[in-house]
Chains A and B, each alone.
Chain A
């Protein structure tokens, strides 16, 4: 299973764009990249998933370069409620495959 590396923490202010980069040098051909958000005492919540290039949904964008060895989660105009831990995970979408969590990035948003 591919190992991921993210910054331990990031700080931002309300209204700013936040970009969190994750490296996954040994990603496999069948692996997707998925980002989750976790608040204290809650289960991880799915944010976005991609395989290559760019994916955008109503809450975030995910940028994946051609070599897929890294990915960047972009959160536009963060608010205080975006303060959370963000995890980048790689793995295939097959039903029998667990995802292994790295340490995640603690994002702190201030006013």
Chain B
């Protein structure tokens, strides 16, 4: 079964609104989680590293004020896309590392901004 749960799987929103995506590690704690973005027919691109109890670290070119990350507990990280625009439409995927076993991924969230 899935070890990382991500919700929602699909969301459609109007331009200018904010969207929150949740990522939960099931049956294990994750002090660190990772957020990726994937455009059609492209590979996954690392956006940011979510750290429990501290600020997230963002990859170069990713706007921290646009993509708000909160890692409030050892099993939950959230990504909020603020003031979404059509160019933010993409497939967002979270992942959590399980010590000694590697990285496990959520099922992804397809965001469509109208």
User: Hey, which bits of chain A sit against chain B, CB under 8 A?
Assistant: 32, 34, 36, 41-46, 49, 87, 91, 93-104
A102 touches B31 (CB 8 A): no
Taking the complex as formed, is B61 at the interface, i.e. its CB lies under 8 A from any CB of chain A?
Answer: no
Check if A44 sits within 8 Å of B43, measured CB to CB. Answer: no
Q: Can you offer 8 A-B residue contacts whose CB atoms are under 8 A? A: A42-B108, A43-B105, A44-B105, A46-B105, A93-B101, A95-B99, A96-B97, A100-B46
SS of A interface (majority): loop
How many of chain B's residues have a CB under 8 angstroms from any CB in A? 27
Closest 6 CB pairs of A and B: A43-B105, A101-B44, A43-B108, A101-B43, A98-B34, A95-B97
Choose one: B43, B45, B99, B104; the contact of A46 (CB below 8 Å).
B104
Q: Which residues of A contact B77 (CB under 8 A)?
A: none
Contacts A32-B102, A100-B46, A101-B44 known; A44 to B93 CB distance under 8 Å?
Answer: yes
Query: Contacts A42-B108, A43-B93 hold; do A95 and B32 have CB atoms under 8 A apart?
Result: yes
Nearest CB in chain A: distance from B55 CB, A: 14
A43 to B110, CA, bound (A): 11
Q: For A95, what are the chain B residues with a Cβ–Cβ distance below 8 Å? A: 30-32, 97, 99
Q: Which residue of B lies closest to A91 (CB)?
A: B103
- Tell me if B6 is interfacial: C-beta within 8 Å of chain A: yes
Cβ B43 vs Cβ A87 within 8 A: yes
Question: Can you name the residue of chain B whose Cβ is closest to the Cβ of A98?
Answer: B34
CB-CB under 8 A from B4, the residues of chain A are 43
* B99 close to A49 (CB less than 8 A): no
**B43 close to A34 (CB less than 8 A):** no
Quick check: B102 and A93 within 8 Å, CB to CB?
Answer: yes
